Structure 1
Amino acid sequence: MPVLNTVLRRRILLIYLTVCLLFYALATLASLDRADAWGERIATSLVAIGLLAALPRPTVGWRYRVALFCGCTAPPIALISHTELAAQVWALIPLILIAVFVRSWHRTRTARVIAAALGIGADVGLVIAPAEAPPLWLLMFPVCIMGIAEVIGLLHAALLDVAHRDPLTAVWNRAGLYRELADLLPRARRRKDPLAVIVLDIDDFKSVNDRDGHAAGDTVLTELTERWTTQVPDGALVTRLGGDEFVIVLTGYDESRARALAEALSGDGPIHVSNGVAVGAAYDPAAFAGLLAAADRDLYLAKGNKPRPPADEAPAL
């Protein structure tokens, strides 16, 4: 995941955990002489643990998972001990906030499963709690949690998606590539799939802009990326690194299959495209960077061996 995403996600999670810590701590202090405050005491301890896990930078890996788990489990536990219905209503707010957070930063399927789990947890808390909640609340709480998370979280997720795509071609930009790799690399490691990196570079692209104008160059880029996205398998990452350089990342391809795909992507049309390929077990960002550098070297070797077209055969649209 890009550093900017990690920082922003951590900041929002820290705000949520800090607010919850104050929320539950104040509720605990206000109920010191009451036996029904044990739910808030457990919730306070959980969010404090989550906060400690989230404080070190960057908040990734097991520390992020611990912080998220604590943030998700504290609100349903707080529901269990309440004797007053008003307290149950207030307890709904943290459940909605963490559901929105998860929907904003995680895959749709994962976020919906967690939101459903939060809704079920809320219902369990309402049923167990001494406060007798109206039966309609057992429907209202999950609907509020999942519905608000879907509406607001979907908006946040859409904004993040736009920020991670190239505005011209709509494929991933560099930041989007590394965000997607955060899911693709662990999945490839679990399956022991090789990782293939294909770098594509349009030959003499400057001549297209100089001869036909930048609008023509933009058309070349969009038409090529539209073709590439239909040629690559599902799950492959098509990325514009900048200018006329693109990279495609996919799993499960050995070198011979990756080179065959690279040649198919280069095509034989009037626009000449060079390609470079590298395949390996790059299961972490540092190893992936090395694989990308190897594909770049292969690209420039290919470009050095490729004869340049004569001046009267410059690329045409």
Structure 2
Amino acid sequence: MNAEKVNTQAGKIILAPMEGVVDATMRHLITKLGGVDLCVTEFIRITGYVLPEKEFLKSAPELARQGKTPAGIPVVVQLLGSEPELLAMNAISAAKMGAPAIDLNFGCPSKTVNKHRGGAVLLDEPALIHQIVKAVREAVPDNIPVTAKMRLGNLDKSLAVDNAVAIQEAGANSLAVHARTKVEGYKPPAHWEWIGRIKESVDLHVVANGEVWNCEDYQRCKELSGCDDVMIGRGLIARPELGLMIKSYQLGQSGDGAAWPQVVLLLLEYFSFVEQKLPPKYVHGRIKQWLHMMRPQREEAEKLFFSVKTINDLSDLRACLEREL
């Protein structure tokens, strides 16, 4: 990369919601590291009733700190469901608790979620998506943004623009688009040019999402999508300093990554947090999960993952990590 020749407009970096991965601990560590401007919670499933505050706090403990991570980065609360009035009532509760914005999930590809009429399967029903967004937008105060996250479609891309228009006409403030359909899952490539088509078809703030692993991907995504703001999930988990790298890149600097010992220190910090929150038998799995997700971007992570793969004793696991320093 020759960063000196790149003229790139600064935009926001948003940490994407990832079920079972980007919880409050992960949001805390990545925003503490820097380079991220906004976070979105894992989806909060809404079915049948208005959740009590304690349920919101499980997924979004940041609501107890004015909707921000300890580093001061805002955390948007994401809701998932298919009942407009019920979603609206829960959105009111989240807003009263201090959510800086409400996001609506129309992108989750999980078979279980889709089976229960949630996530990406709703992209077959633009009229319902409109009803959901409209109900939530009318329910929460005007000063609380209502946003949505969608894929390009469920089975195909034929309704991509229709869904985006439905979201816009319902009054949403912003739309994040993951540049693949549900059936495409997470398989490369991400179709960033389709986000560009959507952006040209709506008068709505659009955020690009999908398959951004490095500064070159980031720049290419912006060029093809036409978006200034980019949402990143797996790329930030695989390389937690990617936000900082991109910020340097935006300034025309090299955007080099962190040294491996710095990453190991972050893993050890994560280890300590997880130990405090989970029963011992679940701790090693979370550490291995993060290492596994780092593997595509770091040779050191690949080697360390196979070194710890069969270790379940937490003392042995910690010692193995510490030997990497």
Report if TM-score (shorter chain) is over 0.5: no
TM score, norm. by length of structure 2: 0.24
- The TM-score normalised by the length of structure 1 is 0.24
- By percentage of residues, which structure has more helix? 1
